[in-house]
Amino acid sequence: MIDDLTEEQRAFADSVRRFAEAHLADGALERAHNPRFPFDVAQKLAAQGLLGIAFDEKDGGQGGTLMDSIIAIEQIAAVCPRSADVVQAGNFGPIRTFVEYASEEQKKRFLPDLLAGRSVISLGMSEPDAGSAVTELKTSARKDGDHYVINGTKIFGTHSPDASLFLIYLRFGPGVNGIGSVLVERGTPGFTIGKPSPFMSGEEWSQLYFEDCRIPAENLLLGEGGFKKQIAGFNVERLGNSSRSLALGRYAFELAKGHALVRKQFGRPLCEFQGLQWKFADMALKLESARLLLYRAARVTDGLPTAFDTALAKLACNQAGFEVANEAVQIMGGTGYSQEALAEYCMRRTRGWMIAGGSTEVLKNRVAEHIFEQRFDQRRVQARAAE
Ligand SMILES: Cc1cc2nc3c(=O)[nH]c(=O)nc-3n(C[C@H](O)[C@H](O)[C@H](O)COP(=O)(O)OP(=O)(O)OC[C@H]3O[C@@H](n4cnc5c(N)ncnc54)[C@H](O)[C@@H]3O)c2cc1C
């Protein structure tokens, strides 16, 4: 594996790996098949300073960098793939947007539990009629005195069955500029969390229903016009998704490599068959090239990663992660396809990240816009004219 980390980053990577081997290696298989958020792991990671790695110390974070958070995902996933979701939840997902834009009061209310691994936050962006076209979301907020009244529904939210806080994108008025976000706590009257439904990966999501749900005005995160700001912050979320894709591809690669060294057929270890050697060469090429793009996007010295670098990194990592995990299953034969090993889990998980957080097609649209230096509106001309 290419090691282009600085000395300090290498020392950090080694310490995270030692922690993972000591505390997360046992139970890695069971964790992967348990859809519940592993709060026990979250609390261990919190105690080790692995939640809020790149957040300011004044917010309860570690004052590290985005690269440190990526290194943490790589090292934790190398030992326990499922626990990498907890690193994501405590560093990249909606918690990152929250830290970026929340008021001091909101941070005081919610961050201590989130950063201690006692609670988890879920992002509500997607709706039944607003997926890739997320700006078509209909969930609405109406001001009523010192409250907002929310109506609408959300689907597919990661950790939604376990979350106690929800970052909900909604509309205060028409158009893209009418979109902003609020924070809704579990248990708020008018807010119902549906029965958990499984994805192919085994993860579960619950549909969220808001029926005249009243939340205090101080739960506003970003009001009208907030959407564009939040979407810039979403590039960080995408790098977390990219890192996990790549890390799970790497995990499956290492499993398959170990298997090919010891499994014998026709009197020889599998690694002696050229047909399989070439698969490994292709897999290494995919992993290493995607890693370079990921690191390039993450090594921003100030501000947020750019949309172009992020789109390329996510595309490369999503494709490499899935294709490598898929090949690992093939190389390991029946063992790879069995739920007694984690190769098939890595394949199922990496498949979902080609859809979540900006599908591969939507990212390619973004890359094309960068190439041609213009925005290509995906709506039909008639629909645009009618707006
Ligand atoms: C594992 C997982 C976790 C998720 N977590 C969350 C979460 O935490 N919070 C949340 O709000 N949502 C979440 N989602 C939902 C995710 O954001 C949406 O699934 C995604 O935006 C795609 O929307 P859709 O499923 O409605 O597909 P659609 O938008 O209906 O797209 C269907 C297909 O058409 C393609 N397509 C659509 N438009 C174009 C276009 N203009 N050009 C080319 N191709 C196009 C898409 O790429 C896709 O292949 C998650 C999804 C998954 C799978």
Q: DSSP secondary structure string, 130-198? A: BSSSGGG---EEEEETTEEEEEEEE---TTTTT-SEEEEEEESSSSGGGEEEEEEETT-TTEEE---EE
Q: What is the pLDDT along the chain (387 residues), one digit of tens a residue?
A: 657 899 999 999 999 999 999 999 999 999 999 999 999 999 999 999 999 999 999 999 999 999 999 999 999 999 999 999 999 999 998 999 999 999 999 999 999 999 999 999 999 999 999 999 999 999 999 999 999 999 999 999 999 999 999 999 999 999 999 999 999 999 999 999 999 999 999 999 999 999 999 999 999 999 998 888 887 778 888 999 999 999 999 999 999 999 999 999 999 999 999 999 999 999 999 999 999 999 999 987 667 788 999 999 999 999 999 999 999 999 999 999 999 999 999 999 999 999 999 999 999 999 999 999 999 999 886 655 555
- Closest residue by Cα to atom 11, ligand 1, is 125
In DSSP terms, 216 is beta-bridged to 147
In sequence order, which ranges of the chain are alpha helices (DSSP H)?
Answer: 7-23, 28-32, 39-47, 66-79, 84-91, 94-101, 104-115, 227-262, 274-298, 307-331, 333-337, 343-352, 360-372, 381-386
Q: How far is CA 125 from CA 27, 153, 368, in A?
A: 32, 10, 24
Nearest to 158 by CA among 199, 191, 190: 199
378 Cα nearest atom in ligand 1: 41
357 Cα nearest atom in ligand 1: 17
What pLDDT is recorded for position 332?
Answer: 98
Q: Is residue 119 a contact partner of residue 90, using CB atoms and an 8 Å limit?
A: no
Residue type, 231: I
**Pocket lining for ligand 1, CB < 6 angstroms:** 123-126, 131-132, 156-158, 199, 352, 355-356, 359, 361-362, 365, 378
Distance 186 CA to ligand 1 centre (A): 25
- Closest residue by Cα to atom 25, ligand 1, is 131
SS3 call for 95: helix
What pLDDT is recorded for position 125?
Answer: 96
- Closest residue by Cα to atom 52, ligand 1, is 356
Please report, in angstroms and rounded to a whole number, the separation of the first and last CA atoms in the chain.
51
Do the bridges between strand 121-124 and strand 165-171 make them parallel or antiparallel, or are there none, so unpaired?
A: parallel
For residue 57, give both structure tokens: 């110390």
The C-alpha atoms of residue 240 and residue 93 are separated, in whole angstroms, by 8
Q: Is residue 167 a contact partner of residue 186, using CB atoms and an 8 Å limit?
A: no
SS3 call for 199: coil
Q: Is residue 240 a contact partner of residue 312, using CB atoms and an 8 Å limit?
A: no
Distance 5 CA to ligand 1 centre (A): 33
Q: How far is CA 306 from CA 154, 170, 358, in A?
A: 28, 25, 15
What pLDDT is recorded for position 228?
Answer: 82
203 Cα nearest atom in ligand 1: 1
What pLDDT is recorded for position 317?
Answer: 98
What pLDDT is recorded for position 231?
Answer: 78
- Closest residue by Cα to atom 44, ligand 1, is 361
355 Cα nearest atom in ligand 1: 53
Distance 351 CA to ligand 1 centre (A): 12
What pLDDT is recorded for position 382?
Answer: 61
122 Cα nearest atom in ligand 1: 8
- Closest residue by Cα to atom 48, ligand 1, is 359
Q: Is residue 53 a contact partner of residue 91, using CB atoms and an 8 Å limit?
A: yes
Size (the chain), residues: 387
Burial class (CB in 10 A: 0-12, 13-18, 19+), 5: middle
Distance 203 CA to ligand 1 centre (A): 16
Q: Is residue 32 a contact partner of residue 340, using CB atoms and an 8 Å limit?
A: no
Long-range contacts made by residues 130-134, C-beta under 8 angstroms, separation at least 24? 132/359, 132/361, 132/362, 133/378, 133/379, 134/169
What's the number of CA atoms in the CB half-sphere (13 Å) around residue 253? 25
Under DSSP, the state recorded for 210 is: E
What pLDDT is recorded for position 235?
Answer: 83
pTM tops 0.85, yes or no? yes
What pLDDT is recorded for position 237?
Answer: 85
169 Cα nearest atom in ligand 1: 11
What pLDDT is recorded for position 132?
Answer: 97
